[in-house]
Amino acid sequence: MIMKLSSSHMDNIPSTPGKFKMDKSPYIHRFRHYSSLAKLTFWSFVFLGLIVVFFFKSPSTSPPNSMPSDLSRRSLKTSSWGGPAWEKRVRSSARIRSQNGLSVLVTGAAGFVGTHVSAALKRRGDGVLGLDNFNNYYDPTLKRARQALLERSGIYIVEGDINDIALLQKLFEVNPFTHVMHLAAQAGVRYAMENPNSYVHSNIAGLVNLLEVCKNANPQPAIVWASSSSVYGLNSKVPFSEKDRTDQPASLYAATKKAGEEIAHTYNHIYGLSLTGLRFFTVYGPWGRPDMAYFFFTRDILKGKSIPIFEASNHGTVARDFTYIDDIVKGCLGALDTAEKSTGSGGKKKGPAQLRVFNLGNTSPVPVSDLVSILEKLLKVKAKRMVMKLPRNGDVQFTHANISFAEREFGYKPTTDLQTGLKKFVRWYVSYYGSGKKNSH
């Protein structure tokens, strides 16, 4: 089935398609009778014609639970899927090729973390199907390059939105996924002040939509999804433990991730879905995200542009628990492997199901100024530092993970320090963009 959720065509159709003009004459003249009959027939055809046009042009494939049309117009427009060849491709990508392997739907597969997790799952013989809407929050050509990389190892990324309920239902119909690795989200802390709705759309509405489909799937998959260290918000007790308070978010992004954790609780409680949330701490590495500091610092240092180094009030250091992508991938796989089965079926809970939240960090926060010093050495260029006050736009002063819970549950132990990880990032950066000063992305 080919489905296009393109813009609604109702806008092009007049609101009053054919007004009947009744003959008010009191005389019942034969000629006039025929004439009004002809007029009536004519206008009936016009009216019928308009109905036919409306019927064929309207997005009749929109599912009943779909979003309001303005949102679907904005964000589901890329969806084009269906048909036997498409289904074959989905099945082949999701096919398990190892004993006791998993069949995983990875949302946000063209994203930074999604690409690495998908490749790692595939390498060990799991079936992987990607889903991504390739939005332009940052340069989509980078997402396309990651897609090409995954395609080379036999991973298909379906282009679509997690809010497209019909697409998600179809995917589960075509393949019974054992697990969902849900990484699709509107990321970034500062952008939330520019485009708050994109956070609600992907991180709240999209999550609910995905969980709705998962809860109705038979069998229900186990779900591992990306929360964020940002849920700790203004918490000042260090290191951050899963038991600490998370009710003081400092950004809308953090608030949507916190909401996600509460939504996860609800779906676990009512429908028996197995749900594991992972609070990632500042992930970095090759194929990373251009909106993150380590990435644009590298670009700007190479270009000779000055870079902002934030400091907190009282000249306090801003520090991050930078976590290398390979360590995060190990954590994601560990969480998937220890995820218990969901207990519900047909939308009904059959018993208590697993509900977990883990920190995935590096347990050693590094001041941002040290990050710049490492980059300077690796790039062999002196950075033009511009020390500025940390603006109140969502960033917190520091993050520091306590990871003992993940270590206990699935042996999570990060092994890459910032120096080693940045070296790998810089090597990738230079091979991908070149080291010239004319780069632009």
Ligand X SMILES: NC(=O)c1ccc[n+]([C@@H]2O[C@H](COP(=O)([O-])OP(=O)(O)OC[C@H]3O[C@@H](n4cnc5c(N)ncnc54)[C@H](O)[C@@H]3O)[C@@H](O)[C@H]2O)c1
Catalytic residue among 156, 191, 232, 253: 253
Residue 232 sits in the site that holds ligand X (CB under 6 A): no
264 binds ligand X (CB under 6 A): no
CB 225 to ligand X: min, Å? 7
21 Rama sector, left if φ>0, alpha if ψ -120 to 50, beta otherwise: beta
Are the C-beta atoms of 425 and 433 separated by less than 8 Å?
Answer: no
Per CB under 6 A, which region of 28-36, 276-284, 313-321, 348-356 contacts ligand X? 276-284
Among 143, 139, 136, residue whose Cα is nearest residue 75: 136
x/- site string to ligand X, residues 50 to 89, per CB under 6 A? ----------------------------------------
Total chain residues near ligand X (CB under 6 A): 27
Q: Which of 184, 245, 191, 244 is nearest to 209 (CA)?
A: 184
Q: According to CB under 6 A, which one of 62, 90, 111, 361 is a site residue for ligand X?
A: 111
| Rounded least distance, CB 128 to ligand X, Å | 15
Task: Work out which of 283, 302, 319, 379 binds ligand X, going by CB under 6 A.
Answer: 283
**What's the CA gap between 275 and 177, in Å, rounded?**
15
- With contacts defined by CB under 6 A, name the span among 85-93, 185-193, 376-384, 393-401 that binds ligand X: 185-193
CA distance 244 to 279: 13
Per-residue buried b or exposed e for 415-439, using 16+ beta carbons within 10 Å of the residue's own CB: ebebeebbebbbeebbeebeeeeeb
Is-catalytic flag, 253? yes
Residues 113-152 touching ligand X, rule: CB under 6 A, are 113-114, 132-135, 143
What's the distance, CA 326 to chain centroid?
20
Closest CA to 294 of 364, 372, 373: 372
Name the closest residue to ligand X (Cβ). Answer: 111
Residue 327 near ligand X by CB under 6 A: no
Backbone angles phi, psi at 387, to 5 degrees: -80, 130
What are the E-state strand segments in 170-256? 179-182, 222-228
Assigned token pair, 226: 């990306």
Residues 145-184 that bind ligand X (CB under 6 A): 161-163, 183-184
359 forms part of the interface with ligand X (CB under 6 A): no
Nearer to ligand X, 110 or 406 (CB): 110
Considering the rule CB under 6 A, would residue 233 count as an interface residue with ligand X? no
Q: Which is nearer to ligand X, 163 or 343 (CB)?
A: 163
Given the DSSP bridges, would you call strands 306-312 and 384-389 parallel, antiparallel or unpaired? parallel
Nearer to ligand X, 133 or 343 (CB): 133
Nearer to ligand X, 122 or 349 (CB): 122
Residue 260 interacts with ligand X (CB under 6 A)?
no
* Min CB(202)–ligand X separation in Å: 4
How many CB atoms sit inside 10 A of residue 38's CB?
10
Amino acid identity for residue 30 in this structure: R
- Which of 175, 359 has the CB closer to ligand X? 359
Question: C-beta of 179: minimal distance to ligand X in Å?
Answer: 16
Closest to 111 measured CA to CA, from 359, 231, 291: 291
Q: Residue 205: CB partners within 8 Å, gap ≥ 6? A: 67, 71, 163
- Minimum CB separation of residue 181 from ligand X in Å reads 10
Q: Which of 275, 271, 276 is nearest to 343 (CA)?
A: 271
Which span (46-54, 103-111, 212-220, 309-317) binds ligand X, by CB under 6 A? 103-111
| Residue among 187 and 223 whose Cβ is closer to ligand X | 187
φ and ψ at residue 102, rounded to 5 degrees: -105, 160
Q: Write out the two tokens for 431.
A: 């091979």
Nearest distance from C-beta of residue 145 to ligand X, angstroms: 12
Distance CA 227, CA 438 (A): 36
**Shortest Cβ 429–ligand X spacing (Å):** 15
Nearest-approach distance from CB 231 to ligand X, in angstroms: 10
CA–CA gap between residue 25 and residue 385 (Å, rounded)? 87
Residues designated as active site: 253
Binding site for ligand X (CB under 6 A): 108, 110-114, 132-135, 143, 161-163, 183-187, 202, 206, 226, 228, 280, 282-283, 289
